[in-house]
A and B are shown apart, each in its own frame.
Chain A
Amino acid sequence: MGVGETIQSVERAAGILRLLASGPRELGVAELARAMGLPKGTLHGILRTLVHVGFVEQDAATGRYRLGGTLLHLGSSYLDVNVLRTRSLNWADALAGRSRESVWIGTAHEGGVLVVHHVFRPDDSMQVLQVGTLLPAHATALGKVLMAYDPYGDPGAAFHAPSAPEPAAAPAPEPAAGPGTASATAAGTPSLAALGAAAGGEPAAEGVLAAFTPRTLTSADDLAKELELVRGRGWAYDVEELVEGEVSIAAPIRDARGVTVGAIGVRGAVERLAEAGEPNITIVSYVRDAARAITRDLSR
């Protein structure tokens, strides 16, 4: 093959991937064929290959195609959580200083939120590092942000929370947890110790999200509506949905391509962080400033 020549089938495969990435969430072979101006038979062969290597998935029920998890991993080039922490360090400290609350950075992990960075509330009270802890996604601002901006598509699907709630606050596995952090929850702060107890207590019924407080969103429909609001607003909160008396507020951290790779937020007492059930708008602006600053940093 001479310089400048291209391989037609590779170009066609790229075209399919581009369509699946840009159009509605799933496409049938007829739609793809129409868009590409190619016979369905030609497309079938390419699609079969793409499914085989994991770049495309076919929905078992509808027979339609969507981008595969393998490709998404490849595309987001998996931002190392330790790199994320290093790049966020100064901004997280600044957020803790401005808000006077503890700061948390989380990433999506096995249906929950893995805490990859934690800055103590700057009041010199006794606090224990919670890096490596797994938080329930549907009951935290971090989790709502990660679900709302999940690059894998279906909100909630990656977290498989609606039908199969994860045991919350379980120690996370390697590699994010250092040798010393895995058991951190055992001696957690009062609030997180309480969270651990709640998580261990009430197994949720099929199709219902685990309830940690009376305010926890427990129906998949309510959660889907909430995530729609989060997407519209650009940030999320939980008011006493995980722990009575506690509020969390979070915003997305994006990489250079706009993919949400994590969330940063604060957690603290409801008296300080909310008024009449609504989060304190000044603190919200601090959280969003920090998220934007890290996003800017990651795009450099």
Chain B
Amino acid sequence: MVFDQDGRIVSVAQREHRQIFPRPGWVEHDAAEIWDAVQGVVAEAVTGSGIDFGQLVALGITNQRETTVLWDRHTGRPVANAIVWQDTRTDALVRSLAGHEQLFRERAGLPLATYFAGPKIRWLLDETPGLRERAERGDVLFGTVDSWLIWGLTGRHVTDVTNASRTMLMNVRTLSWDDELLAALGVPRAMLPEIRPSAEVYGTTGDGVPVAAALGDQQAALFGQTCFGPGETKSTYGSGSFLLMNTGTEPVSSKHGLLTTVGYQIGDAPATYALEGSIAVTGSLVQWLRDNLGLISSAAEIETLAGTVEDNGGCYFVPAFSGLFAPHWRSDARGVIAGLTGFVTKGHIARAVLEATAWQTREVVDAMNADAGLALTSLRADGGMTANNLLMQILADVLAVPVVRPMVSETTCLGAAYAAGLATGYWPDTDSLRANWHKAAEWRPKIGQDVRDREYRNWRKAIDRSLDWSTP
């Protein structure tokens, strides 16, 4: 996407790359294919905007986090398919690391989970003959996708600090690779990229365009939403949902099931931290209603169906399809629909589906407020589900704060562009970016506290009923 100085979209190009599923639980990408696609869309977006590369001020990168690429330093070719963040092949490996759980929590700010990059590197080193030796000599390099793309664009082996904060290898306070974490995971330092700020000129492309920013997707959305002040929170509603709260220049350790992560770092300025609440199933529950139950024929129709009833009719839907993520982290949970009676219709179930997204958000917001000692005053929502007015109203109702949709919903790309523009002086400071942020819509709470409290109690009862279902 190409943006102008007012933060408006000038042109868009997109291309899908393959999702590779070699076995149940395994998810891979072909890093070479991603590189080809990126070159294609960059050229297409520039052509489509009617400008030439010389007029591009800077290039910023945003990427799916945690996905792990290993490549040969000399040939530049990947040594295996990239292991994607959803991949759970490292399950047994992660369980074997249980003795280090406290170390990872304290140093990396992360719980032990297959989600992060470190265990994926370890798996590749263990399973590929000869790879560990090559990695120790520095002949094989590791990077998340930001790092892989910067290598291709500039020839430098660097990563941005937000992506590094998702590896379980970086000390979240010093922002450098941590020897104890490396030892615990058995990852040689020689293969790791240099950790750099999210916004600085990493190098230039062959066309002379500065490559000036990289941010993990959720951090980029935080940046694109201009959540630059402590307590400012964004929530992105896709198939899952990710809430990030800016906690300022000190990392906050979560006591309530959230992740401590780096929000961004601009040049030499101190890093800004964030607490992250990850919800596995929100929008994908609507898709499930469409694809598996056939109650609706398009995702948007959930609002129409839910609008046929006044309330949930006493029915609650906990979509713990693969356990519960933040703040519960219960892998033994499975989905339940609670409170069914003969009165309940598909309209009530549709409503319960939307409420499930709102209540899961509420649980994460409560955890954030408790961890940060700050009370959320408004929620900046983005992503595809913000088109659903009923969901946005329910969110405002259950959170008891206004919910605001910004003018540009592509906040991840915008955030990367903003960071690159800051690094190159296209924008002077974050205040000038705030001036580009405009409210497109706002929903205010409308229900009473008594109703809110009663519904929250019922939701928690439904959560209780989802637990202790799946046994390993």
Among residues of A, the one whose C-beta sits closest to the C-beta of B310 is A179
Whether A96 is near chain B, meaning CB under 8 Å from some CB there, is yes
Contacts of B304 in A (CB 8 A): 80-82, 175
Q: Are A179 and B393 in contact (CB under 8 A)?
A: yes
Whether A20 is near chain B, meaning CB under 8 Å from some CB there, is no
Whether B303 is near chain A, meaning CB under 8 Å from some CB there, is yes
Known A179-B393, A179-B446, A180-B443; judge A122-B438 contact (CB<8 A): yes
Known A82-B388, A83-B301; judge A174-B308 contact (CB<8 A): yes
Give A294 Cβ to nearest chain B Cβ, in Å: 13
Question: Which A74-108 residues sit within 8 Å CB-CB of chain B?
Answer: 80-83, 85-87, 89-90, 93-94, 96-98
Among residues of B, the one whose C-beta sits closest to the C-beta of A102 is B440
Q: Are A90 and B438 in contact (CB under 8 A)?
A: no
A-B contact count (CB 8 A): 95
Per the CB 8 Å criterion, the residue count for chain B at the interface is 35
| B441 interface neighbour in A86, A119, A174, A175, Cβ under 8 Å | A119
| A83 interface neighbour in B300, B397, B442, Cβ under 8 Å | B300
Whether B389 is near chain A, meaning CB under 8 Å from some CB there, is yes
Q: Chain A, 176-214, contact with B by CB distance < 8 Å: what is the 0/1 string?
A: 111111000000000000000000000000000000000
Known A82-B388, A89-B387, A180-B393; judge A129-B443 contact (CB<8 A): yes
Q: Chain A, 120-152, contact with B by CB distance < 8 Å: what is the 0/1 string?
A: 101110011101000000000000000000000
Whether A267 is near chain B, meaning CB under 8 Å from some CB there, is no
Among residues of B, the one whose C-beta sits closest to the C-beta of A116 is B389
Q: Are B444 and A96 in contact (CB under 8 A)?
A: no
Known A82-B300, A176-B307; judge A93-B443 contact (CB<8 A): no
Q: Chain A, 51-93, contact with B by CB distance < 8 Å: what is the 0/1 string?
A: 0000000000000000000000000000011110111011001
Known A82-B388, A118-B441, A122-B438; judge A96-B308 contact (CB<8 A): no
Question: Which B405-435 residues sit within 8 Å CB-CB of chain A?
Answer: 407-410
Contacts of B410 in A (CB 8 A): 90
Contacts of A82 in B (CB 8 A): 300-304, 387-389
Give A47 Cβ to nearest chain B Cβ, in Å: 33
Question: Which A255-277 residues sit within 8 Å CB-CB of chain B?
Answer: none
Contacts of B8 in A (CB 8 A): 94, 97-98
Alpha-carbon gap, A66 to B199, bound state (A): 66
Alpha-carbon gap, A168 to B321, bound state (A): 47
Whether B9 is near chain A, meaning CB under 8 Å from some CB there, is yes
Contacts of A128 in B (CB 8 A): 442
Q: Are A80 and B298 in contact (CB under 8 A)?
A: yes
Alpha-carbon gap, A120 to B409, bound state (A): 14
Q: Are A120 and B408 in contact (CB under 8 A)?
A: no
Give B272 Cβ to nearest chain A Cβ, in Å: 24
Q: Are B387 and A85 in contact (CB under 8 A)?
A: yes
Q: Are A178 and B307 in contact (CB under 8 A)?
A: yes
Alpha-carbon gap, A93 to B406, bound state (A): 9
Among residues of B, the one whose C-beta sits closest to the C-beta of A177 is B307
Question: Which B8-23 residues sit within 8 Å CB-CB of chain A?
Answer: 8-9
Among residues of B, the one whose C-beta sits closest to the C-beta of A129 is B441
Among residues of A, the one whose C-beta sits closest to the C-beta of B307 is A175
Give B452 Cβ to nearest chain A Cβ, in Å: 13
Among residues of A, the one whose C-beta sits closest to the C-beta of B301 is A80
Give A122 Cβ to nearest chain B Cβ, in Å: 4
Contacts of B442 in A (CB 8 A): 120, 127-129
Contacts of A94 in B (CB 8 A): 8-9
Q: Chain B, 1-41, contact with A by CB distance < 8 Å: what is the 0/1 string?
A: 00000101100000000000000000000000000000000
Known A85-B389, A90-B409, A179-B446; judge A119-B440 contact (CB<8 A): yes
Give B222 Cβ to nearest chain A Cβ, in Å: 19
Q: Are B409 and A178 in contact (CB under 8 A)?
A: no
Alpha-carbon gap, A90 to B440, bound state (A): 11
Among residues of B, the one whose C-beta sits closest to the C-beta of A88 is B387
Alpha-carbon gap, A97 to B6, bound state (A): 9
Contacts of B446 in A (CB 8 A): 179-180
Alpha-carbon gap, A81 to B300, bound state (A): 9
Known A89-B387, A94-B8, A120-B438; judge A174-B307 contact (CB<8 A): yes
Q: Are A96 and B389 in contact (CB under 8 A)?
A: no
| A96 interface neighbour in B301, B302, B392, B407, Cβ under 8 Å | B407
Contacts of A181 in B (CB 8 A): 389, 393
Alpha-carbon gap, A177 to B302, bound state (A): 14
Alpha-carbon gap, A120 to B405, bound state (A): 10
Q: Are B393 and A93 in contact (CB under 8 A)?
A: no
Alpha-carbon gap, A124 to B435, bound state (A): 10
Alpha-carbon gap, A174 to B397, bound state (A): 18
Question: Which B375-397 residues sit within 8 Å CB-CB of chain A?
Answer: 384, 386-390, 392-393, 396-397
Q: Can you spell out 20 A-B residue pairs with CB atoms less than 8 angstroms apart?
A: A81-B304, A82-B300, A82-B303, A82-B387, A82-B388, A83-B298, A83-B300, A85-B387, A87-B300, A89-B386, A89-B387, A93-B408, A94-B9, A122-B440, A128-B442, A129-B441, A175-B304, A179-B393, A180-B393, A180-B443
Give the 4 A-B residue pairs with the shortest CB-CB distance, closest first.
A175-B307, A122-B438, A180-B393, A86-B300
Chain B residues near A (Cβ < 8 Å): 6, 8-9, 298-304, 307-308, 310, 384, 386-390, 392-393, 396-397, 407-410, 438-444, 446
* Further 10 A-B residue pairs, CB within 8 A, beyond A175-B303, A176-B307, A178-B307: A82-B388, A86-B384, A96-B440, A122-B407, A124-B439, A127-B442, A174-B307, A174-B308, A177-B307, A180-B444
Chain A residues near B (Cβ < 8 Å): 80-83, 85-87, 89-90, 93-94, 96-98, 118-120, 122-124, 127-129, 131, 174-181
